[in-house]
Structure 1
């Protein structure tokens, strides 16, 4: 197997979903611009070019309002599954493992192996940060995209108000506006539903060959067992 094929095999998930992301966000930009220009024409305004639409608040808020909800899902799931359990779900740890687990279980400190990441064997702040680095990163991306969504949403909402001959709202006031929370909560509720659904449906349903599912023949009450 040559190096290119080996790289594709070893990184199939990230390459497939990364390519899918680029394709869909490109298509979203094309469709979003078309919809935006339809609205402009209905108001008697000039349509915008593709580059200008990509730099617009309308496109930014359409993208980031989904990003922040997705990363909120990851953040909540990572931290929630440390302590919260679901009997029979492969998405849950085994019932006796609630909590951060022992250093031996996590292979940190003196229990680190030669193949462990360097900071896993370190002590103090470095180990504490690395032990939570995935959740911290997901939280940081969530907060960053939430902030960008709020700023771009305020700008897009301000443009709508100007077209209606109303004064735009400052960012601080937009954070309390129904438009902002309607955009935000419609995404949050769907992500929470998805997390809960996956946790409970995977107790009773199976997907052969997937590591997100229990083996087909596993008992319904088998917890923390993945295929």
Structure 2
């Protein structure tokens, strides 16, 4: 009786040994499932021009921007026009370079791959100005360090010579100009409000007065 019970228990235990790998395989299959296909249809097509209707264009502006960007970067495509209201996109491409059916297959492939692309971050005017002024300030600091080392070698001590005063005043002027310009520039494209413009000019004038006083007195910042 004991041997029979053991054999029966072993048989019942065999399927349990394979349950865990099956669950793991299901989880892996879910993780590696292909992305959902983008629904589309061809509205109109003639040699050199094709228009697709893609419902996702009407509700997903990020996808529309990515698709437009990847299409415009294709050298064989001459123009792209997206219409979110009608969820359509019209594409003009060069004829004679590739067969129309091959071009259509290529465009469909781009429609499906567009969600996975990463658009580069667009630089704003403020970010460009900030990086430019920071580079100039770093250059001035490097020059000041070289001058201080030269003074230490020649005079065995640090002293505030003419170059140190000039570089210090230039750094103060650059920092003041940077603050004024960044204050005036808007975060987005558009006209600058008159109040902000006046405040920015007053700030710049105050910074200029401080720079002039430092240069006259020969004091570093």
Give the TM-score taking structure 1 as reference length: 0.27
- Using CA pairs under 8 Å that are at least 6 residues apart, name the structure with larger relative contact order, 1 or 2: 1
Give the TM-score taking structure 2 as reference length: 0.28
Comparing both structures, which one devotes a greater share of its residues to strand?
A: 2
